[in-house]
Structure 1
Amino acid sequence: MRLSVLDQAPVTKGNSAPDALKKAEELAVLADELGYHRMWMAEHHGTNVFASSAPEVTAAHLAAKTQQIRIGTGGTMMMHYSPLKLAEVFKTLSAFSPGRIDFGVGRAPGGDNDSIYALSEGRPPMLNNMYEKFELALQLINDDVPEDNLYNKTIATPSHIVLPEAWLLGSSGNSAIQAGRMGVGYSFAQFFNGQLSKSTLDTYKKNFQPSAFMEKPEINVSYMVTTAETAEEAEFEAAPQDIWRLLFMKGKVGQVLTPQEAGDYPLTEMDRMMIKESRKIHFVGSSKEIAARLQEEQERYGFDEAMICSIPHSQEKRLNGYRLLAKELF
């Protein structure tokens, strides 16, 4: 099973946004050395919790700092950009790092309504044309001339680049069908809602049509993971994420606490039940336990690659978690 990295450039308590981006660089360099397959940066707007608002910019920096690992976005939020701009950005990235760039896109806004309207300069956002926009961007990346009159009178430069891999993010059967028909990879965000099903992935495979971007179906699944050498240590490091998700479900969004603060946080019985339920999408345990669980997931659902998002408060603990998983699964 391939292992990859998903990073949101989290800004944990006591750290700054520049710290978070520097830590993303450190993680990319380590993941490259360890043999992780790819690293994607997420896109978030209007929040002090994550510093990854311009993942394509971060991707350019990370690609320049690494040697082998694929670098991309997971994903670029299409609603904020024109197909032409999407094509130009990722063709430029691929020109600088041929054979190592991933064009990963999502249909979500990556922010609240205020962010959406600010990014669109106050214009009502177009929400129902995401698949058409993606298809247009793919045509422009591939130096094809779209039928659309708005986009067939210009070109996306630079031309004649090595094509990036193209991926569609999703968590529904509809996105799986579309990804298959377009001949792109399908990335399922299991840590969003925990609704991964074999039927969804089989639907993607059944509908897959080879394209210039991908010859055969490829599936990765993103997991939130907190791991350490022992289960007890993992539980200690996982508590801040548990509390953050608990507060998020209550409509309260703030910075992630330290493990000590999370351990002292007053929890009601209902809170404990909610945290227990959220553990379905937050894998916590020793590296051996997590490796075994990921292998079971792969056998059950039939995906190709596990993409790991891990946010311990300490950068040292976070990097060590990726080291431990690599040791168990490579």
Structure 2
Amino acid sequence: MKLSVLDQAPITKGHTAQDALNYAVELAVVAEELGYERIWMAEHHNTNGFASSAPEITCSYIAAKTEKIRIGTGGTMVMHYSPYKMAEVFKSLSALAPGRIDFGAGRAPGGDHFAMYALAEGRQPEVNHLYEKINHTLQFIKEEAPLIPYYNKVIASPQHIVLPQSWLLGSSGNSAIQAGKMGMGYSYAQFFNGYMNRQVFDAYRENFVPSTFMEKPEIMISYFVTVAETKEEAEYEAKPADIARLLFMRGQVDLLRMTPEEAKDYPLSEMDRMWIEDTRYQHLVGTPTEVADFLRQEQQTYGFDEAMICSIPHSQETRLNVYRLLAKEMLH
């Protein structure tokens, strides 16, 4: 199984946004050394909790600091941008790092409604024709101008470059068939709701049409993971993320993640503890062997090709160790 990295550039308590972006670069370098397939940067707006607001910029910097790991966006939130501009951004990235760039397209806003309207300059955000926007972007990337009057007189520069891989992100299964028809890879976020359905992935494969971006269907599943040498240590490091999920569910979306020491003494009601336990399928916690065994079983059940790991312990060293331990268990 191929392993990859999803990074949201999290800002944990006691660290700055600049730290978070520097840590993203460090993580990419370490992931490359460990044999991870790719690293994707997420897109988040109007939040103090994540520093990844312009993933394509971070990707370009990471590309200059690495040599072989694939780099992309998980995802570019297409409602906010012109297909023409997105195509030129990813063609430029691919010209600078040929054979290493992924255009990961997402249909979510990546922020609240205030961010949506700010990005749309006060206009009604584009939410109804997102598959069409993605298709127009793909056409521009492969140098086929969409048949629309204001598009058919322009070219997306730079021309004649190695095409990036193109992926469609999903979290409910509704986008699987569309991804197949457009000849894109399908990246499914298991950690959003924990829901998995083999029929969704089968529908993607059945509807897949080979394209210049993807010769055969490729499915990648994103998991939220905390591992450590022992189960007890993993639970200790995972508790801040569990509390963050709980607070997010309550609408407290902009709090910095606390330290494990603070989380250890955080007052949780019995109902809080039950909620965390009942939703633990969205957060894989354990030893490397336990998590690796679970991922291999998931692969057998659902037939995906690649697991993308998102991990947000409080400290950078602990986070790097999560990826080291998983690589040791699954890649070597």
TM-score normalised by length of structure 1: 0.99
Structure 1 residue 328 corresponds to structure 2 residue 329: yes
Cα drift, residue 141 of structure 1? 0.3
1:154 paired residue number: 154
Letter in 1 for 2:184: V
Rounded to whole Å, the distance in 1 between the matches of 2:308 and 2:178 is 21
Within a 5 Å distance, the mapping from 1:278-297 to structure 2 comes to: 278-297=279-298
Within a 5 Å distance, the mapping from 1:62-141 to structure 2 comes to: 62-141=62-141
SS in 1 for 2:234: helix
Letter in 1 for 2:322: G
Rounded to whole Å, the distance in 2 between the matches of 1:130 and 1:232 is 44
Rounded to whole Å, the distance in 1 between the matches of 2:100 and 2:89 is 14
Aligned-residue sequence identity (percent) comes to 67
Rounded to whole Å, the distance in 2 between the matches of 1:226 and 1:45 is 25
1:144 paired residue number: 144
What is the CA RMSD across the aligned residues, in angstroms?
A: 0.6
Rounded to whole Å, the distance in 1 between the matches of 2:174 and 2:237 is 36
Rounded to whole Å, the distance in 2 between the matches of 1:207 and 1:277 is 34
Within a 5 Å distance, the mapping from 1:28-39 to structure 2 comes to: 28-39=28-39
Cα drift, residue 174 of structure 1? 2.5
Within a 5 Å distance, the mapping from 1:108-257 to structure 2 comes to: 108-253=108-253, 254-257=255-258
CA deviation string 1:229-274 (max 9, x = no partner): 1111100000000000001101112111100111101011110111
TM-score normalised by length of structure 2: 0.99
Unaligned runs of 5+ in 2: none
Rounded to whole Å, the distance in 1 between the matches of 2:252 and 2:213 is 41
2:278 paired residue number: 277
Rounded to whole Å, the distance in 1 between the matches of 2:266 and 2:151 is 54
Q: Is the 8 A contact 1:172 1:200 kept in 2?
A: no
Letter in 1 for 2:329: E
Q: Is the 8 A contact 1:88 1:156 kept in 2?
A: yes
CA deviation string 1:185-240 (max 9, x = no partner): 00000010111211111110010000010000001000000001111110000000
Moved more, 143-152 or 242-251: 143-152
2:317 paired residue number: 316
Cα drift, residue 149 of structure 1? 1.7
Q: Is the 8 A contact 1:173 1:203 kept in 2?
A: no
1:14 paired residue number: 14
SS in 2 for 1:299: helix
**Which segments of structure 1 move beyond 4 Å, counting only runs of 4 or more?**
none
Rounded to whole Å, the distance in 2 between the matches of 1:126 and 1:37 is 33
Letter in 2 for 1:257: M
2:53 paired residue number: 53
Letter in 2 for 1:280: Y
Rounded to whole Å, the distance in 1 between the matches of 2:160 and 2:168 is 23
Rounded to whole Å, the distance in 1 between the matches of 2:163 and 2:250 is 43
1:42 paired residue number: 42
CA deviation string 1:3-27 (max 9, x = no partner): 0000000000110000000000010
Moved more, 148-157 or 292-301: 148-157
CA deviation string 1:144-166 (max 9, x = no partner): 12112221111110011100000
Rounded to whole Å, the distance in 2 between the matches of 1:135 and 1:89 is 16
Rounded to whole Å, the distance in 1 between the matches of 2:150 and 2:190 is 36
SS in 2 for 1:234: helix
SS in 2 for 1:174: coil
CA deviation string 1:127-177 (max 9, x = no partner): 011000000000000011211222111111001110000000002333000
Letter in 2 for 1:237: E
Rounded to whole Å, the distance in 1 between the matches of 2:17 and 2:113 is 22
Cα drift, residue 126 of structure 1? 1.2
Rounded to whole Å, the distance in 2 between the matches of 1:230 and 1:186 is 33
SS in 1 for 2:148: coil
Rounded to whole Å, the distance in 1 between the matches of 2:121 and 2:182 is 31
Q: Is the 8 A contact 1:171 1:196 kept in 2?
A: no
Moved more, 306-315 or 145-154: 145-154
Rounded to whole Å, the distance in 1 between the matches of 2:89 and 2:268 is 46
Rounded to whole Å, the distance in 1 between the matches of 2:170 and 2:74 is 10
Letter in 2 for 1:47: T
